[in-house]
Amino acid sequence: MTNPGIEFLEKTTYPDFSTVDMILRKPEPEREIPVPEGAKVIRLPNPKRKKYADVSVPEALEQWEPEAFFSRSAMTLQELSFLLWCMQGYRKTKENDVALRNVPSSGVRYPIETFFVAGEVDELETGLYRYLPHSHQIVVERVDSTLPFAMGTASMNFKLITRAAVTFLWVGIPYRSTWALGNRGFRSVLIEAGHICQALIMAASCTGWRVHPIDLFHDQMMIQLANLNPESQWPLYVGAVGKRERDF
């Protein structure tokens, strides 16, 4: 591969119906990674139960800036619930099980899974969790007090991540998109990670939290950290959430 960028664009042009498994009547992939047998599932508080600051779109955009340092601070489970719902939550389900969610998705495929390392979240042990959008719950993937340090090393942002209350890891499941869109779906997976992170930035501005997006990280370390299948599950993007000292 002499020019991977150009080759990627050429091989993901649309339409190329020969690459669409939906047309070939192949089974539709699962909409969520199944919950492992025996795993603990935690129901989140109603994300709409608490009122947050009324922040305008211009204010939210003007408030954001890259972060170099977080002060140690704890996030409530209610705040976490709100952020997760704003990123990927369901607003309602229409006829034929077509879901309306809070971020757009090409072909309504939603190929992104949200994992997160809880560093300082009230009522949660330090560890790795995954959001279940349909039921608005989280599944405990692994309880491990060393995970914020492992995430900091993997993301090459050790000081920032180890002080973050939560660090989100967005993982792409390309086949959810390519099943319906063919090779064009690979573009959708990358684009939609950006939609989700921007939704997090906007939602965090209403709660007093700051977001630092990270797209440079050690892929293999992230795959190991989240126990991903590298053939079908891709770590795409990281978002650290914390507060600065002047925010208190």
Instruction: Tell me what pLDDT residue 61 has.
Output: 87
Contacts for 179 with CB less than 8 Å, ≥ 6 apart: 20, 21, 22, 26, 28, 29, 109, 185
Structure confidence by residue, pLDDT tens digits, 68-87: 889 999 999 999 999 999 99
pLDDT (0 to 100) of residue 243: 94
Q: In sequence order, what are the residues at sequence separation of 6 or more whose Cβ sits closer than 8 angstroms to the Cβ of residue 42?
A: 124, 129, 137, 138, 139, 140
What pLDDT is attached to residue 131?
A: 98
Give the three-state DSSP class for 139.
strand
Residues 6+ apart with CB under 8 A from 163: 69, 70, 71, 72, 119, 242
Q: pLDDT tens digits, residue range 127-172?
A: 999 999 999 999 999 999 999 999 999 999 888 999 999 999 999 9
Prediction pTM value: 0.94
Q: Which of 66, 87, 108 is nearest to 199 (CA)?
A: 87
Q: Buried b / exposed e across 80-118, counting CB within 10 Å, b at 16+?
A: bbbbbbbbbbeeeeeeeeeeebbbebbeebbbbbbbbbb
Which tokens is 172 given? Answer: 């792409």
- The pLDDT, as a whole number, for residue 97 is 60
Residue pair 215/146 in contact (Cβ under 8 Å)? The answer is no
pLDDT of 2 reads 80
Q: Is the peptide bond before 15 cis (omega within 30 degrees of 0)?
A: yes
pLDDT of 1 reads 58
Sites in the chain below the pLDDT cut of 70 = 1, 93-99, 245-248
pLDDT attached to residue 246:
62
What pLDDT score does 14 carry?
86
